[in-house]
Structure 1
Amino acid sequence: MTGAFILAGIGFFTTANAAPAATEEQPPFDWSGAYAGIHIGYGWGDSDFTDSEYNGAPPYPTVGWGVDSDGLITGINAGYNWQRDHMIFGLEGEIGRLNLSGSAAQPGTDPYGIPYDASGTVDKGWYGGLSARLGYAWDRTLLYAKAGVLYSNARSGFKDTCTAGPCGNSTASASKRIGWGYQLGAGVEHAMTKRWTIKAEYAYLDFGTTTISGNIIGGAFGGKPYDIRSDLSMHTVKIGLNYQF
């Protein structure tokens, strides 16, 4: 009888706790409003250098070569979203560091059979940008595309030190900011809480053509001007953490 009584009590307790509890339906996540955050990522780029003058002394042939560069990307970002049903419209500004660096020697030999000893370089610098975002939200998950303008003080450079042949002891050395460019990208963002979101993003950056100009110092061609063209395009992947106000 005691055992039956205990079993009956356990059954009553279990039944009472198994009763379905009333649940409140969570409202859809609201993506509208201001936000700010941080990001970190990696970038890899390629620059095409073209020397069509070879230190301003024709008839040297046009020589082209590539310079690979890569490095970390770090920065902060802030923006504002407007939401209409599932559609998200936004503006985002960002500022950070492009820690890209790379160099490569000019290939081949000149018409006198002397190997070229010039090189092209890409050096790290700061960047800033403003982009428009367009996305589609499934409650707490947002897929978006972005497009905008960029400016960077990272530099493309050219250096050539000649110690032989007709140019004699001369040096050509100059660099220039890569300046304005554009970016196209896409990403996914997910809301972990009411305020905090995480994101992963890919973007293609193109800074167009940069003309590196200078004058030769010393040697037979001292004082002659030269122009070396380079262009930088790169791919980036980033992860970020945002706070919605």
Structure 2
Amino acid sequence: MRNFIIASALLAASTTGAKAADVVVQEPVAAYNWSGVYVGGQVGYVAGGKVNHDYVVSDMYDYRLSPRGAFGGIFGGYNYQLDGGVVVGIEGDVNWGDVKATGETVGDPDFASTTKLAWNGSGRVRLGYAFDRVMPYVTGGFAVARLRFEERENGSFYDEAAKNLTGWTLGAGAEYAVTDNWTLRGEYRYTQYGKKDFVAMPQDEKWETKIRTHDLRLGVAYKF
């Protein structure tokens, strides 16, 4: 009888051990953390806005134009993820491209101009919320750009000017962490540059300009 009890106990123990060996213990997968320094590149397209040049002598020669054109550039920044999923950060970018606004004056078709943003950049804060590897965000800060203005009369050069612009920008987008280091993003940005006075030479014409742009951007970044 005692031998039977011992054999039964050994059989039960071996069966329990075999079942325990079949159980696979899975470690919980940690949520993605957005904290860190990153750098990246982007391409974009200015799809509209306003370029208003007001001639101080007569509104007959004012320009009311809409900017268009593609651009590309680089960006970099730093994110810090707080407890609960909120992500705060700072970011800067600089871009070059072919963003132009071309057209005739309001009242005289003999005169036309081309306004080009030779480059533009910004310094901004970002505020997002992390849903693991997906982070929607808003962003805003100051903006700068280089304006190049050229005016023509009946197709021939008339005068020109170049000025730096300053203003502000606001935007929103979403970013996705493809791997622990690489991210993809899409973003919309509205930028408004402050009123700027300039003189076009050699005709010594005085202008007041105001520029606004709407653009869409796609970017890829590497997080260290």
TM-score, length of structure 2 as denominator length: 0.80
Structure-2 separation of matches of 1:42 and 1:215: 30
Give the structure 2 partner of residue 237 of structure 1: 216
User: In the alignment, what sits opposite 2:56?
Assistant: 52
Q: Which residue of 1 aligns with 2:7?
A: none
Q: Distance in 1 between matches of 2:137 and 2:56?
A: 42
Which residue of structure 1 aligns with residue 111 of structure 2? 118
2:103 corresponds to 1:67: no
Q: Which runs of 4+ in 1 moved over 6 A?
A: none
In structure 2, distance between residues paired with 1:155 and 1:215: 12
1:147-206 alpha-carbon deviations (Å, 9 max, x no partner): 111211232344447xxxxxxxxx851222242121100110011111111111000011
Counterparts in 2 of 1:35 and 1:121: CA distance versus 1, 3 Å: same
1:211 aligns with 2:197: yes
Residue 23 of structure 1, CA deviation = 2.5
Q: Is contact 1:92-1:130 (8 Å) kept?
A: yes
> 1:124-135 counterparts in 2 under 5 A?
124-135=117-128
User: Separation in 2 of the partners of 1:62 and 1:157?
Assistant: 18
TM-score, normalised via structure 1 length: 0.74
CA deviations 1:73-116 (Å, max 9, x no partner) are 201111001111211110001111142023111133xxxxxx45
Structure 2 residue corresponding to 1:197, chosen from 164, 169, 183:
183
Residue 141 of structure 1: CA displacement? Answer: 0.9
Given the alignment, which residue of 139, 152, 155 partners 2:148?
Answer: 155
Pick from 227, 238, 245: which aligns with 2:206? Answer: 227
Q: Equivalent residue of 2:57, what SS?
A: coil
Paired AA for residue 53 in structure 1: V
The alignment of Structure 1 onto Structure 2 pairs a total of residues equal to: 202
Aligned residues of 2:198 and 2:207 also touching (Cα < 8 A): yes
> Structure 2 CA distance, aligned partners of 1:157 and 1:178?
15
- Amino acid across the alignment from 2:133: R
My pick for the range that moved more, 194-203 or 45-54, is 45-54
Aligned-pair CA distance for 1:242: 0.9
Kept in 1, the 8 Å contact 2:79–2:89? The answer is yes
Is 2:110 aligned against 1:106?
A: no
Structure 1 residue 38: Cα displacement: 0.8
- Alpha-carbon offset, residue 71 of structure 1: 1.0
Q: Name the counterpart of 1:91.
A: 90
RMSD: 2.5
Q: Answer yes or no: is the 8 Å Cα contact 2:60–2:106 preserved in 1.
A: no
Q: Structure 1: any 5+ residue segments left out of the alignment? A: 1-15, 55-60, 109-114, 162-170, 218-224
CA distance in 2, matches of 1:216, 1:202: 39
Work out the CA distance in 1 between the residues paired with 2:53 and 2:113: 7
Contact in 1 for aligned 2:50/2:66 (Cα 8 Å): yes
The answer for the alignment partner of 1:143 in structure 2 is: 136
Query: Sequence identity, in percent?
Result: 26
CA–CA distance in structure 1, aligned partners of residues 56 and 209 of structure 2: 11
Answer yes or no: is the 8 Å Cα contact 2:126–2:138 preserved in 1: yes
**Distance in 1 (alpha carbons) for counterparts of 2:201 and 2:42:** 41
- Aligned residues of 1:141 and 1:189 also touching (Cα < 8 A): yes
Counterpart for residue 164 of structure 1? none
